[in-house]
Amino acid sequence: MQVENGASTVQGLRSRFSSWPNWAVGVGCVAVILIAVERGYEGAFYPIGMMMHQPSKMNAAFGYRILLPFLAAQLQKLVPSLTDHNCFIATQIVAIVSVVMLSGGWASLFMPKLGRIFGYAFVTLMICPTIDYWNFYDIALVGFWTACLLLLYYDRLAVYVAILALGTLNHENTLLLIPCALVYYWNRLKVWQLTLFAFAQIAAWTGVRYWVISSMQGGALFDNRIWDNLFFWRFYHMQSIFFACIAVVPWWAVACKGWKYSSSLLRCCALSLPGLYLVTFLFGKFDEARQFDAFIPVCMGFIACWLRSELWPAPDASSGFCS
């Protein structure tokens, strides 16, 4: 018995030490994203201090994205010597580490060999070009979407609804996950179960939004951008639109290669891309690639499936083995 325990201990230590390249790449990717954040700037339209202490005075919908600003304010109460900037960076470090780790786990589902390293690197490549002005929610948004997709993959629906609600405190576009989840479970749940699941998601999202909006007096619900986007050539610089496009479109094009190898979850979650386009048209700006950060985990999954089919081809590759 002691020999077996010793052998298992040695095997466990060996597996831990053999995974050091994953940890090294993960730490490096966290550092790269953090440096990109530090090289951003504090916009006059999003003052960090006001978002932490007076969110109801923020422009448009910014003030309703209160999760990390609230945590930053609580951190400052615990350690009064910390500046607003210090607290902001602290929350972003937590968000960055979470996003990188979750992305590694997500990508490894579709590409078991080297999937974690691919996930770490890919999320870094896609997030960094979208970072310009400082805000609390962009990086965390990718983390919440990735976490929700992982929970759907493992059929942890109760936890998924809870994370959906928490993520809504960070950014309201978690609403776009609801139709994706319902389509994915359309033939997987009984009618009453699907109805209950739909109700739980909608109730969680609307409940959180109602609570946040009702607690913020006088703030605008959204920033209307329809006119700007209809006549984009008048309001945007073509150079900024070009750079926003080249930051995301090439990855989307590669992701198309993975469609035939992908799982039903990825295909259902691809519905979020038209939703992000619509939300951007109504309330966002097409010269900001960050508007599509939520699609990063889905894009990552498709590309991981394609890479797996190219690097480790299987006899049934055309049937979609990336499940």
Mean pLDDT estimate for the chain: 90
What is the DSSP track for 256-275? HTTGGGS-HHHHHHTTHHHH
- Categorize the per-residue pLDDT at 3 as very low, low, confident or very high, splitting at 50, 70 and 90: very low
**Would you say 185 and 197 are in contact if contact means Cβ atoms under 8 Å apart?**
yes
Q: How far apart are CA 65 and CA 290, in angstroms?
A: 16
* Closest by CA position to 76, among listed 67, 85, 66: 85
Residue 9 has pLDDT above 60, yes or no: no
In the chain, what are the domain boundaries?
Answer: 28-39+62-319
Q: How far apart are CA 129 and CA 138, in angstroms?
A: 12
Quick one: pLDDT at residue 57?
86
Quick one: pLDDT at residue 15?
52
Quick one: pLDDT at residue 10?
46
Mean pLDDT, to the nearest integer, of 234-246?
A: 88
Quick one: pLDDT at residue 233?
77
Q: State pLDDT tens for residues 157-181.
A: 999 999 999 999 999 999 999 999 9
Mean pLDDT, to the nearest integer, of 181-205?
A: 96
Quick one: pLDDT at residue 231?
81
Residue with tokens 């422009």: 59
The per-residue b/e assignment along 128-167, b for 16 or more CB within 10 angstroms, e otherwise, is bebbeebbbbbbbbbbbbbbbbbbbbeeebeebbebbbeb
* Closest by CA position to 102, among listed 167, 43, 46, 186: 167
pTM above threshold 0.85: yes
Q: State pLDDT tens for residues 201-235.
A: 999 999 999 999 888 866 666 777 888 888 877 88
Which one has a higher pLDDT value, 38 or 236? 38
